[in-house]
Each structure stands twice: as structure tokens, then as C-alpha cells.
Chains A and B, each alone.
Chain A
């Protein structure tokens, strides 16, 4: 088990978005979350790394425990460091959003942060190459690592966003409709990548496509009427 959610309620501007959600998410599996637009799929992801705290008028009740650094952590505990929690629970958005800097610097970014683990520059270069290989992007960009990340195609940018989240060594990686804005070929590449990544991370993915969920997920959660149902 990687995450245990108990009786989670979430309110935005005093309106119930999620109601009495209790779930268990298994380690090193791909868990897909589906539901109609506005059902609260992304909100559920935002609860898992407390991203909702970046928005005003949000209220959360219940508990979420994540198994991070080999121990169970109550993530709503105020003593839990937010930067650490967010490094351990990575999130990739629907639209790729590279930083306005080079491909290499995008991947170097997490190490520039104060909370980042210290790493020697020689090891850093290796780390960047390894991560790019992991997301099957290295061969495509090896000759232009110093070029702006915005020069990449949509699919490449999305893989770069995943690589940037991965380089911070998360134990859980969440993806909010990662392939919805991509062409079928890029979609296939990301699906292959996710299947490989589950060996080292627990993956939670929001998707609207039932075909995609059937193809790659081990578990499927549906959000309906503000609550969640584990389908398999």
C-alpha cells in the first residue's frame, strides 16, 4: 500500500467538491482516475500533495497517509515540510509547461532549490542523461540540450515535464490527463514510459479515455457524485 485516504471531504468556496472519499492506492501500480469534467479528479490529486493550499477558500477534512521514506506520513500534519512532500509526490499537468530556459536547465531546476539534495556537477550531468533516457527523450534531444525547451514538440515537452518531475526522485508520480493534448504517437510513447516507470514509482493518472485506462492501468477509480468508487 502506498496511500490511504480516509473520509476525505474537500470544499471550495464552501461548495462540496469531494465527499467522504475512502481509498487505498497500491504501491508500484498504475491507478487511473476517471470521471466527468468537474467531478473533482484533479482536486483529488491536489489533495495528495496539498497543492490546494496554493488556492484561496479551500477547506479539507479527513485524513491521507502516504508511505514515504519508508514510513507512514500523515500528510495533513502541519509539521510535514511542503517542499519535501511535493518532491516526493510529483505532479505533471495536462499541458506541458517547460520553464523558459534550456532543456538541460529545466532538468537541473529541482537541484537549484534549497531543499534539493546536494549533487556534484559531474553526477548531475549523468543524472540528467539517465532521466532523459528513462523518458525516451535523450536520443531526440542529445544534440540540443542547451536549446530552449520551448523549441521541443508538444509530446517532447510533456516527456520533459515528466523527466523534470522524475529527476527529483518522487515515490509517487501523479499525471493529470497527460496525453489529452498530444497526437496518438506521442500518447503511445508516454503510455510505454508509464508502464516502465511503475517499477520505481507509484503512478496515479487522471484520464478521460476508457481505452487508455484499459490499456495501461492496474486499478481504476471512478469519481461520481463527489465521491470515489474503486472499480478494480
Chain B
């Protein structure tokens, strides 16, 4: 009886969750109007000229899409080496006391609300302004990327640590037995062995960067800036565009743009999840094909 009840409860939870997801996606798709169309993305501009940055896009979502990708790239350039490095240190080198301290710090960082991380980025910008007398880099892609990297660093660090720790003890010792130093063992055996596990977590972290709003609204995202010329300029991003437009819209067409941007953002996140799944499958197939 208990087993049956548990089974029904599981089914019910699944149905509830799936129906919310289906309702949410359907609602977005109904409200949006041709989100992938040329006019939705590039407005009246020529797509090729816009991509080549020869023509500005005023009425399309292209600057926000480009800005979203730029902050993803910037934050990942910081978070991937720092996160994997921290994970490797925790798993392979940290002594008991250092491990406890660092591991707790990472857990606290993981639990911080993103608005606090945004505030941290904001305070860094104010500090730089103070030091350089208002002339240093301020609200920009660099500032957002730096702050976002702290948001996802704990996921990357913990997943790297867990992946390395889960390696079979015999395999871990095999390279050592052949004369490998610790660093060679990590580089040639442990990281390649756990590559797919680490990479799929990194892609999830990328999706987290793509959808975060709190951090970027405090560190450099604006409503209208066009495509930035370098990483020290302000930028547009899809999550901030959605937040700003839906809260300040003055016409139905502006609200429609927010729905279109939402569909595009969900599509980017879905694409990243599918990519993560495919990479995992590909690596598994590469290691296990008969």
C-alpha cells in the first residue's frame, strides 16, 4: 500500500511539474510573435551588415543576443580556469584544514543570492572609480563577466572536485605506478577521464550566466547601447531587456519584444542543455564503443 501511494505521489509530482513547464512554454510561444524572424532579431537592418557591425540595429534583439554571448564568454574565461583549478586543488592538494576552510567558503559562495554577487561587482566598480578618480573601467561587460564568474565558480569547482574524487582508486594509482608525477596524473588521466562530467557542469554554468539578471543590472547592462566596441563598454543583454521592457513598456509592441526575447533566451538555455547532453553522450560513446 505504501509503495503504491509513493508511486502515485511520484506520478503526481511529475505531472504537476511537466504541466507547469508545458503551460509556461506554451504561454510564451502564444504571446511571442515570430521570435526567430529577421525583423524580430535585426529590425530594419540588413542582417549581414549588422553581424559585420557595419549597420546598427535599433529595433531588433541582436544587440541583446550579442551582449548575452559576450558576458557568457567573459565570465567563462574567468570561471573555467579558476573553478577547475580550485576543484583540482580541493581534490588533490588541499590539506585537511585548508580543505575544510575552502570547501565551506565555496558552499557559502554557492548559497549567496545573485543580487548580493551583483552588489559585490557594483562595489568593486565604485572602488575602481575611487582609486582611478573616475577614469578607470566602470559598468561594462568586463565588470559583469567578473561578477558572474563568482556566481558560477562554486558549481565548476565542486563538480571538478567531485569528478576527480570519484575516480577509481586503481586507475588513479596506475599512472603513478608507471612513473607519473601528481601533475601528470591529473593532466593525462584524471582530467581526461572525467572530462565529460566536468564539461556538462560547465555548460550548465554557462546557462546560469545566460539567464542571470540581478548581477548584470548592477554591473553594466543597460536598455539601449547597441553592440559594445570592447569589453569595457556598457551593453544590452536578453535577461535585462526582458526585465526592463516588461516593467517599463509603453506599447503592446514593446511588450511583444519582451516575449520574443524570452523565447530566444529560453531557446539559448535549451540549446546549451542539449549541447551538454550531446557532449556527454559523444564522450561516453568515444570511450565505450565496441
Contact = CB atoms under 8 A, between A and B. Distances in A.
- Interface residues of B toward A: which range? 20 to 34
Contacts of B175: 99, 109
Interface stretch (B60-68, B133-141, B177-185): B177-185
Interface in A65-117: 82-84, 86-87, 90-91, 93, 95, 97, 99-101, 109-110, 112-116
Contacts, number: 74
Interface string B168-188: 101101111111110010001
Interface stretch (B12-20, B28-36, B282-290): B282-290
B113 interface: no
- Interface of chain B, helix or strand or loop or mixed? helix
Most A-side CB within 10 Å, residue of B180, B184, B289, B290: B180
A57 B178 CA distance: 23
Given A100-B287, A101-B192, A150-B287, A49 B171 contact: no
A151 to B, nearest CB: 5
A51 B175 CA distance: 12
A154 interface: no
B51 interface: no
Interface in B271-290: 286-290
Nearest to A110: B178
B53 to A, nearest CB: 42
B179 A93 contact: no
Interface string B146-185: 0000000000000000000000101101111111110010
Contacts of B179: 82-84, 86-87, 110, 113, 115-116, 168
Contact of B288 (A87, A109, A151): A151
A148 B178 contact: no
B38 interface: no
A84 B184 CA distance: 14
Contacts of B286: 148
Contacts of A49: 177
User: Range of interface residues on chain A?
Assistant: 20 to 34
A51 B290 contact: no
Contacts of A86: 176-179
A41 interface: no
Given A86-B176, A115-B179, A93 B188 contact: no
B178 to A, nearest CB: 5
A54 interface: yes
A38 B175 CA distance: 25
A29 interface: no
B189 interface: yes
A219 B66 CA distance: 72
A87 to B, nearest CB: 4
A51 B176 contact: yes
Contact of B289 (A51, A101, A147): A147
A177 to B, nearest CB: 12
In the A-B complex, list the 10 residue pairs whose CB atoms are closest, starting with the nearest: A83-B179, A87-B179, A97-B171, A110-B178, A97-B170, A100-B193, A93-B170, A91-B177, A100-B287, A86-B179
Interface of A: 49, 51, 54, 82-84, 86-87, 90-91, 93, 95, 97, 99-101, 109-110, 112-116, 147-148, 150-151, 161, 164-165, 168
Given A97-B171, A100-B192, 19 more contacts: A49-B177, A54-B173, A84-B179, A86-B179, A87-B178, A99-B174, A99-B175, A101-B192, A110-B179, A112-B184, A113-B181, A114-B181, A147-B289, A148-B288, A148-B289, A150-B287, A151-B288, A151-B290, A161-B174
